[in-house]
Structure 1
Amino acid sequence: MELRHLEYFVAVAEELSFTGAARRLHVVQSGVSATIRALEKELDATLFERSSQRVSLTDAGAALLPEAHAALDAVRAARDAVRGNQGTLRGAIDIGAMTAVAVMDLPALLRRFRTNHPGVAIRLRVSPTGSAGLAQALVAGELDAAFLSLAGRTPGGLTVRQLTSYPMVLLVPTGHRLASRRRVALHELEDEEFVDFPPGSASRDLVDQAFTTAGVRRRVSVEADIASAAAYVRCGLGITLLPEFAVPDTPDLSVLAVGDETLRWTLSIATSSTRRPSAPLRALLELADAYASTAPEEPDLHDLGSGDRKSATDHKE
């Protein structure tokens, strides 16, 4: 068994496509197919179920995948050790992010990383399924690190480092019965209709947990994304809880603090807790830690390079 066999196997397993794997590996598809057939012959096992519509892992393939990742990680660690001894980092790092990380200047962070480590290629994936999709990709070994927001317990198989956090605030129309208040308790919201995000998003999970813990039932009448929630509130379709950074600066909406101190949205960088971090990943984590140590608890949006408050709502959890 050659290292190339495992590299090709992992590519097909993650892409679930021979064509996609060939594109990722920059080789012809016939070469990928031949390599997988050779590996299956050597192992005397079928690793993939193939049809004209789909490719899927067999039980044998699913059993091989974590071992293949471990073997490739070990080889990468050996290369890192030699390159580190030579005083330079090389290789690649796969990073995931939400559609827009409005509360930090991710492009500037990655530019600084590339300036410090020009020999490391960065492959950035933006997740259309938000933090949940990024967490799944990390567990599956498709990413080395991800900038995401998680509510509640850390998913199994992940290590999470918090970078910054913001309180959740209540957004109501100016004519609402609570508009003149500065602070509100959760039990005062039981009869309200809410605009919220789809189940599974970090903010939705966070708010659901807080209301459940408080023993307060609530009704979600509109499910929207973080960029449009305020518009539905403005039209009187409900009230919403948003991270403070995502509140638009408009005169027809009132912002209230919430008495529950646990309602805080967090931005974190997550990595696999079962895979040994590569030297480039360790360097990225050091840079992220430096950002966290210098970022204010509730930083000004302009200081983080996110533009005005309206542009800060361009964010997918």
Structure 2
Amino acid sequence: MELRHLQHFVAVAEDQHFTRAAERLLVSQSGLSASIRALERELQTPLFVRTTRRVTLTPAGRALLGEAERILAQVRSAHEAVAAVQGVLRGTLAIGSEQCVAGLHVAGLLAAFRRQHPDVEICLRQAGSAALAEEVAAGRLDLAFAVRAAQEDTDQLRVVPLSSEPMTVLCHRSHRLAAAGAAVTPEDLAGEVFVDFHPDWGPRRTTDAAFAEAGLRRNVTLEVNDVHSLLDLVDENLGVAVVPQHFRHKRPALTALPVKGTGEAVYETVALLPPPQATSPAARALMSLLEA
């Protein structure tokens, strides 16, 4: 099995099309097809189901994809490690982040990194914490800034705590909770309509866990994928939101109330990284800026 076979396999899996993958790799379609056939012969199983419009992975192909991505990520890390020993940091820093993570200014951090390492290309992907954890474990991201939920250290993922803060209820100033002006428990919110993020986002997972611990269910009828939409809906008194404390500064007109009775439920920002031996020099350099 050659590295180029794995590179070709991953490209076809991503594009779901031989022609597009060949164009991206700058190889002939016949050469790409031959490379995939050689890999299938060696593994003695088909990796793709081919149709006239696209190709999809077989169960064996899905099993190979994660391993192939990790192998290629480790090869890239090896090349970059050698360059770093020679005093030059090059390559790509593939980073992921949730929106508005607590205690961290991602744009400023990346700007500082670029000033120190101008030869490294920065690629940023924004997504929910669950998806980011999968991307780092698969080797598609060098690291990610996310929110701790159920993530713990595994053979493929390290979780490094960065900061934490309590959760806060945001509501319209005319809402009954604003009039009371007191700390809020999950029981106080029973029957409310909630505005929240999609289920794999950190704030949503933190709040869901707190309500599950209290034995309560929430009625999340207004789901959004960005902070400003969430604040707009609360500002129109269409629902309430349980969010990290720092969100209150983004819309001062809303009433912010502390949350109590949620046990250990806090919004904890973490860095997600591969195991030390698989962590790229660029990722280590970025983390060193956080420690400075």
Conservation of the 8 A alpha-carbon contact between 1:92 and 1:122: yes
Residue of structure 2 aligned with 1:270, choices 269, 272, 280? 272
Q: Give the Cα–Cα distance (whole angstroms) in 2 for the partners of residues 193 and 213 of structure 1.
A: 19
Query: What secondary structure is seen at the aligned counterpart in 2 of 1:178?
Result: helix
Q: Aligned residue for 2:8?
A: 8
Q: Aligned residue for 2:233?
A: 232
Give structure 1 stretches of 5+ with no counterpart. 291-317
Query: What secondary structure is seen at the aligned counterpart in 1 of 2:21?
Result: helix
1:87-130 Cα shifts (integer Å, max 9, x gaps)? 22233232223356686432332232233233333232334xx2
1:178-226 Cα shifts (integer Å, max 9, x gaps)? 3242422232222433233333322222112112212334433433443
Query: What secondary structure is seen at the aligned counterpart in 2 of 1:123?
Result: strand
Query: What secondary structure is seen at the aligned counterpart in 2 of 1:118?
Result: coil
Q: Shift of residue 41 of structure 1? A: 4.1
Q: Shift of residue 69 of structure 1? A: 4.1
Query: What secondary structure is seen at the aligned counterpart in 1 of 2:176?
Result: coil
Conservation of the 8 A alpha-carbon contact between 2:69 and 2:138: no
Amino acid at match of 2:162: L
Conservation of the 8 A alpha-carbon contact between 1:138 and 1:144: yes
Task: Calculate the TM-score normalised by the size of structure 2.
Answer: 0.81
Q: Give the Cα–Cα distance (whole angstroms) in 2 for the partners of residues 76 and 195 of structure 1.
A: 42
Conservation of the 8 A alpha-carbon contact between 2:73 and 2:139: no
Q: Aligned residue for 1:300?
A: none
Query: What secondary structure is seen at the aligned counterpart in 1 of 2:177?
Result: coil
CA 1:61–1:185: 2 relative to 1, 3 Å: closer
Q: Shift of residue 30 of structure 1? A: 4.6
Q: Shift of residue 282 of structure 1? A: 2.1
Task: Calculate the TM-score normalised by the size of structure 1.
Answer: 0.75
Q: Give the Cα–Cα distance (whole angstroms) in 1 for the partners of residues 152 and 79 of structure 2.
A: 31
CA 1:210–1:67: 2 relative to 1, 3 Å: closer
CA 1:75–1:254: 2 relative to 1, 3 Å: closer
Query: What secondary structure is seen at the aligned counterpart in 2 of 1:183?
Result: coil
Q: Give the Cα–Cα distance (whole angstroms) in 2 for the partners of residues 227 and 111 of structure 1.
A: 24
Q: Shift of residue 66 of structure 1? A: 4.7
1:24-78 Cα shifts (integer Å, max 9, x gaps)? 5354545433432343345444222221343222344344445534543554454
Query: What secondary structure is seen at the aligned counterpart in 1 of 2:233?
Result: helix
| Bigger helix fraction | 2
Q: Give the Cα–Cα distance (whole angstroms) in 2 for the partners of residues 267 and 66 of structure 1.
A: 26
Q: Give the Cα–Cα distance (whole angstroms) in 1 for the partners of residues 25 and 91 of structure 2.
A: 15
- Taking only the aligned residue pairs, the percentage that are identical comes to 44
Find out whether 1:172 has 2:168 as its counterpart: no
Q: Aligned residue for 2:157?
A: 158
Q: Aligned residue for 2:288?
A: 286
Conservation of the 8 A alpha-carbon contact between 2:22 and 2:29: yes
Q: Shift of residue 143 of structure 1? A: 1.8
Conservation of the 8 A alpha-carbon contact between 1:170 and 1:242: yes
Q: Shift of residue 240 of structure 1? A: 1.7
Q: Give the Cα–Cα distance (whole angstroms) in 1 for the partners of residues 186 and 267 of structure 2.
A: 17
Query: What secondary structure is seen at the aligned counterpart in 2 of 1:151?
Result: coil
Conservation of the 8 A alpha-carbon contact between 1:14 and 1:142: no
Q: Give the Cα–Cα distance (whole angstroms) in 2 for the partners of residues 23 and 147 of structure 1.
A: 33
1:293-317 Cα shifts (integer Å, max 9, x gaps)? xxxxxxxxxxxxxxxxxxxxxxxxx
1:52-201 to structure 2, matched below 5 A, reads 52-69=52-69, 71-73=71-73, 75-98=75-98, 104-127=104-127, 130-154=128-152, 157-179=156-178, 180-201=180-201
Q: Shift of residue 81 of structure 1? A: 4.6
Q: Give the Cα–Cα distance (whole angstroms) in 1 for the partners of residues 147 and 28 of structure 2.
A: 38
Find out whether 1:211 has 2:218 as its counterpart: no
CA 1:78–1:192: 2 relative to 1, 3 Å: closer
Conservation of the 8 A alpha-carbon contact between 1:221 and 1:237: no
Give structure 2 stretches of 5+ with no counterpart. none
Amino acid at match of 2:240: I
Query: What secondary structure is seen at the aligned counterpart in 2 of 1:36?
Result: helix
Q: Give the Cα–Cα distance (whole angstroms) in 2 for the partners of residues 222 and 59 of structure 1.
A: 36
Q: Shift of residue 169 of structure 1? A: 0.8
Q: Give the Cα–Cα distance (whole angstroms) in 2 for the partners of residues 264 and 287 of structure 1.
A: 25
